[in-house]
């Protein structure tokens, strides 16, 4: 079938003439071909295939198959002329191509040509590379000629015809782009093509640096990664994603992650998604929904993105960092709209009233801790906004607290006040400076309810505490003074700090979060760790709430009950509360790792009690001191000890004038030589709850009578405010 009869290439006749064996031998001797064919003749026959193919494709395929077999035979004898003709054969179109397989839904390159088209070897790829070029190049048909193929061909022929060539990297990249572009539902063919391209590119990337750069540059911004419902670009895929987030984000399948990890890492697939990635998904969903509510499917997607994706990344981060950085993240509200977290309120306490009718609430399926950490305002906090001061107004009460870097500074102050017993005397002195005439130290050992409190962070403060009552409200100067921590002796100047200054901080011996209520109208909380007070931050470690109305007292009744309003008249008075640092608090405290037990507080009060009437001797206004304890089960107030001091109206006036003169000298920063020498003498009758009656003769004096006897270094130090002590002394004698 290599030649037709009309070609006249075979002897014609009978056994009596040209077909006679003797004559045939003679013809061979004269040059007739036998058992072999010249390369030139084979090449001419290859060129004839195209001519036959015009009228008879089957015959063309048969001739192509015969030619290949003859070439194979010649190659077995290692004909030295083979290389000379190989290049020429590679350009002759005598090879059939493979038709599109049944069920192949993609654009098979062969469909671009007529079915009978013959190709040269240089235009074809073998089926070995079918999956990585079939959309770009025709594939050699090695089926039998009856199936319009050329039959199986050996490696030797493939090498001779240049059919062992591999596709280039750019060609495989184009194949991958093509399969991704023509996606129409996942089929086995599509998966095979995709896997083959990944395998080729992964191996190429590992072998050559220049090739790696080409692959990365071409693929990093292309949608070429096969996921469950299409192809996406590397920014939408990560190695780890433990929840369903399609069609926006995907996890790389295990088979790709295990087999081609380096390929996907280099083109930009990350280990995991970031908060920003998840936030962009929420924004995309919001844009797509327009003005319509979220569908159930999209709502569930958003819920997973927020509750599983974002929460998994911010769970351990600080509250203030999350609110500041992620407050604009969209959360679903109760009407299935997506709104910035910091514009929503979280309805965690149905009994609390929020009178602002414009408030929008976060959807209840979003966990409270997630929403709040992202910036949603708990309903309790929203209710607190009404009680912010007109001064330094913020979104949640007045920023209030000791504004210096506290935890380290307080530690050093505690070293200056090492005795807890002196702490109680500091509080006594502070109350006297505030012109209080009565002080009561109360130990409350109860664990109070935690239902109606600011939030769960406040809960540790509902336990046992030392409370200190005095019958004078705070002034604005007192409030300013108590927020400042002294840095050395200058800032300890009473003229700068009001009545409550550096000495107040000795209370941190027993507590991490002191607070007080003044005039039954102002609630102030100190929170150096910014851990307990609602909305406290490291920059403003505390909160102050004013104008505490019926709503406040109802909604946060478990907080207000801590200040013992059922036992003390709080109008025009002050009640301090120092919740004891328990074992759990001590573990994480930056102030002191020493917990304060009930017994320690009781011992402190016992030691104060032993001083008895002497506590009243040199105070300027104080007339009664009490020590009490709340009964743990009944809540009754038991008076353990009290002492009162009585002076005549005339002596009381002398004491006030004496104290006023001191305050005047301190406030005006008078030099030692300018401070007038004053001396008062008066008597005080004291009586305690144990029936002890005593009369004391007391003498107080301020200023120097002879300045010449005062050391010049002392005068200079006082002038430079290196010494801020005041020249004052007193003595007392028991006369009955």
Stretch (H or E) spanning 468: strand 465-470
Same domain, 498 and 370: no
Residue 1 placed within a domain:
no
Q: Domain limits at 547?
A: 398-644
473 near 576, Cβ under 8 Å?
no
Identify the band that residue 454 occupies on the pLDDT scale cut at 50, 70 and 90.
confident
Phi, psi of 13 (to 5 degrees): 150, -150
* Residue 247 preceded by cis peptide, ω within 30: yes
Is 70 exceeded by the pLDDT of residue 64? yes
As a whole number of angstroms, the distance between CA 77 and CA 35 comes to: 13
As a whole number of angstroms, the distance between CA 508 and CA 474 comes to: 20
Residues comprising the chain, all counted: 736
pLDDT at position 145 is 77
Closest of 323, 361, 370, 348 to residue 536, by C-alpha: 323
Per-residue pLDDT averaged across 29-39, rounded? 73
Give per-residue pLDDT as tens, 598-648: 999 999 999 999 988 888 888 889 999 999 999 999 999 999 999 999 999
Q: Which tokens belong to 364?
A: 């209840």
Is 90 exceeded by the pLDDT of residue 232? yes
Distances (CA, A) of 613 to 467, 542, 627, 646: 21, 36, 13, 11
pLDDT at position 706 is 86
Stretch (H or E) spanning 272: strand 270-272
Identify the band that residue 456 occupies on the pLDDT scale cut at 50, 70 and 90.
confident
Domain boundary among 218, 250, 273: 273
pLDDT at position 355 is 61
Residue 21 placed within a domain:
no
Structural domains of the chain, count: 5
Residue 116 placed within a domain:
yes
Identify the band that residue 705 occupies on the pLDDT scale cut at 50, 70 and 90.
confident
Same domain, 365 and 464: no
472 near 436, Cβ under 8 Å?
yes
DSSP 293: P
pLDDT at position 418 is 62
Same domain, 228 and 337: no
pLDDT at position 112 is 94
Looking up tokens 């104290």 gives 659
Same domain, 267 and 291: no
Same domain, 46 and 59: yes
Residue 3 placed within a domain:
no
DSSP string, 103-168: T--S--GGGGS-TT-EE-GGG-B-GGGHHHHTTTS-BB--S-GGGTS-----HHHHHHHTTTPPPP
Domain boundary among 356, 387, 418: 387
Residue 20 placed within a domain:
no
3-state secondary structure of 173: helix
Looking up tokens 């108590």 gives 482
Name every residue whose Cβ is closer than 8 Å to that of residue 200 and which is 6 or more positions away in sequence.
132, 167, 172
The torsion angle over the Cα atoms of residues 485, 487, 491 and 493, rounded to 10 degrees, is: 100
State which of 9-18, 230-239, 348-357 shows the largest mean pLDDT. 230-239
Name every residue whose Cβ is closer than 8 Å to that of residue 702 and which is 6 or more positions away in sequence.
658, 661, 662, 665, 675, 676, 677, 678, 679, 726, 727, 728, 729
Same domain, 223 and 191: yes
Per-residue pLDDT averaged across 179-198, rounded? 86
Same domain, 298 and 334: yes
pLDDT at position 114 is 92
Is 60 exceeded by the pLDDT of residue 95? yes
Residue 15 placed within a domain:
no
3-state secondary structure of 574: strand
Give per-residue pLDDT as tens, 373-432: 898 887 776 667 666 443 232 344 555 555 446 677 787 777 766 666 678 888 998 899
27-31, 394-398, 657-661: which has the minimum mean pLDDT? 394-398
pLDDT at position 725 is 81
Name every residue whose Cβ is closer than 8 Å to that of residue 567 and which is 6 or more positions away in sequence.
442, 630, 637
Phi, psi of 52 (to 5 degrees): -65, -40
Instruction: Count the helices and strands in the chain (H runs, E runs).
Output: 27, 24
DSSP 733: E
Domain boundary among 387, 422, 455: 387
Give per-residue pLDDT as tens, 209-228: 899 999 999 999 999 999 98
Give per-residue pLDDT as tens, 98-146: 999 988 888 999 999 999 999 999 999 999 999 999 999 999 999 987 7
Is 50 exceeded by the pLDDT of residue 687? yes
Same domain, 457 and 579: yes
Same domain, 462 and 580: yes
Report the mean per-residue pLDDT for the chain. Answer: 86
As a whole number of angstroms, the distance between CA 329 and CA 277 comes to: 11
Residue 186 placed within a domain:
yes
Q: Considering the chain, what percentage of its residues have pLDDT values greater than 90?
A: 53
Same domain, 198 and 297: no
Dihedral sign (CA 137, 140, 143, 145) = positive
Same domain, 281 and 264: no
391-400, 477-486, 674-683: which has the minimum mean pLDDT? 391-400
Same domain, 220 and 206: yes
As a whole number of angstroms, the distance between CA 19 and CA 55 comes to: 32
pLDDT at position 79 is 79
Phi, psi of 27 (to 5 degrees): -65, -40
Identify the band that residue 298 occupies on the pLDDT scale cut at 50, 70 and 90.
very high
Residue 226 placed within a domain:
yes
pLDDT at position 492 is 43
As a whole number of angstroms, the distance between CA 467 and CA 516 comes to: 9
pLDDT at position 226 is 94
Closest of 375, 376, 336 to residue 359, by C-alpha: 376
CATH number (domain holding residue 566): 3.30.565
Identify the band that residue 510 occupies on the pLDDT scale cut at 50, 70 and 90.
very high
Is 60 exceeded by the pLDDT of residue 59? yes
């Amino acid at each position: 079938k290599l030649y037709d009869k009309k070609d006249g290439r075979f002897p014609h006749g009978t056994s009596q003439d040209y077909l006679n064996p003797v004559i045939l031998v003679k013809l061979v001797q004269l040059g007739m071909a036998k058992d072999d064919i010249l390369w030139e003749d084979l090449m001419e026959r290859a060129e004839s295939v195209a001519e036959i193919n015009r009228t008879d494709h089957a015959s063309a395929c048969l001739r192509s198959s015969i030619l290949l077999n003859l070439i194979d035979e010649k190659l077995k004898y290692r004909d030295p002329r083979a290389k000379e003709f190989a290049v020429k054969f590679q350009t002759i179109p005598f090879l059939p191509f493979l038709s599109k397989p049944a069920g192949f839904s993609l654009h098979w390159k062969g469909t671009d040509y007529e079915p009978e088209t013959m190709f040269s070897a240089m235009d074809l790829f073998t089926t070995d590379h079918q999956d990585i070029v079939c959309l770009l190049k025709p594939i050699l048909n090695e089926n039998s000629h009856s199936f319009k193929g050329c039959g199986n061909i050996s490696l030797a022929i493939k090498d001779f015809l240049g059919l062992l060539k591999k596709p280039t990297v750019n060609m495989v990249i184009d194949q991958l782009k093509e399969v991704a572009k023509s996606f129409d539902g996942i089929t086995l063919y599509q998966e095979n093509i995709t896997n083959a391209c990944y395998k080729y590119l992964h191996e190429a990337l590992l072998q050559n640096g220049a090739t790696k750069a080409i692959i990365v540059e071409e693929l990093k911004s292309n949608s070429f990664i096969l996921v469950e419902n299409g192809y996406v670009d590397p920014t939408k895929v990560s190695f780890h994603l433990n929840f369903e987030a399609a069609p926006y984000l995907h996890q790389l399948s295990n088979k790709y992650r295990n087999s081609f990890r380096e390929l996907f890492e280099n083109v930009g697939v990350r280990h995991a998604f970031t908060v920003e990635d998840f936030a962009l998904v929420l924004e995309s969903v919001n844009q797509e929904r327009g003005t319509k509510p979220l569908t159930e499917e999209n709502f569930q997607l958003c819920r997973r993105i927020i509750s599983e994706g974002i929460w998994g990344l911010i769970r351990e981060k600080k509250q203030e960092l999350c609110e500041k950085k992620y407050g604009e993240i969209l959360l679903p509200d109760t009407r299935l709209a997506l709104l910035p977290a910091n514009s929503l309120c979280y309805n965690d306490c149905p009994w609390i009233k929020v009178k602002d009718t414009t408030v929008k609430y976060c959807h209840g399926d979003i966990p409270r801790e997630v929403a709040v950490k992202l910036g949603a305002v708990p309903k309790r906090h929203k209710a607190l906004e009404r009680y912010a001061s007109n001064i330094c107004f913020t979104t949640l009460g007045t920023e209030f607290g000791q504004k210096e870097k506290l935890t380290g500074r307080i530690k050093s102050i505690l070293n200056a006040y090492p005795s807890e017993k002196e702490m109680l005397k500091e509080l006594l002195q502070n109350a006297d400076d505030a012109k209080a005439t009565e002080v009561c130290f109360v130990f409350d050992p109860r664990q109070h309810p935690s239902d109606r409190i600011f939030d769960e962070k406040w809960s540790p403060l509902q336990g046992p505490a030392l409370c200190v009552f005095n019958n004078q409200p705070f002034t604005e100067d007192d409030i300013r003074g108590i927020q400042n921590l002294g840095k050395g002796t200058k800032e300890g100047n009473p003229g700068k700090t009001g009545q409550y200054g550096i000495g107040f901080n000795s209370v941190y011996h027993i507590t991490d979060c002191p607070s007080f209520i003044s005039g039954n109208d102002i609630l102030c909380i100190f929170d150096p760790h910014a851990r307990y007070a609602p909305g406290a931050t490291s920059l403003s470690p505390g909160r102050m709430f004013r104008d505490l109305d019926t709503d406040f007292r109802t909604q946060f009744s478990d907080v207000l009950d801590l200040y013992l309003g059922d036992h003390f008249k709080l109008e025009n008075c002050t009640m301090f509360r120092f919740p004891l640092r328990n074992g759990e608090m001590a573990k994480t405290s930056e102030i002191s790792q020493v917990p304060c037990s009930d017994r320690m507080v009781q011992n402190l009060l016992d030691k104060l009690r032993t001083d008895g009437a002497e506590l009243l001797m040199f105070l300027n206004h104080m007339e009664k001191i009490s020590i009490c304890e709340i009964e743990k089960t009944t809540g009754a107030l038991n008076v353990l000890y009290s002492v009162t001091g009585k002076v005549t109206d005339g002596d009381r006036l002398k004491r006030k004038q004496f104290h006023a003169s001191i305050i005047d000298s301190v406030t005006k920063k008078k030099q030692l030589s300018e401070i007038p020498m004053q001396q008062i003498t008066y008597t005080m009758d004291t009586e305690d709850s144990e029936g002890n009656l005593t009369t004391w003769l007391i003498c107080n004096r301020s200023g120097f009578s002879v300045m010449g006897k005062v050391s010049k270094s002392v005068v200079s130090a006082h002038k430079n405010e290196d010494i801020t002590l005041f020249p004052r002394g007193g003595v007392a004698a028991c006369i009955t």
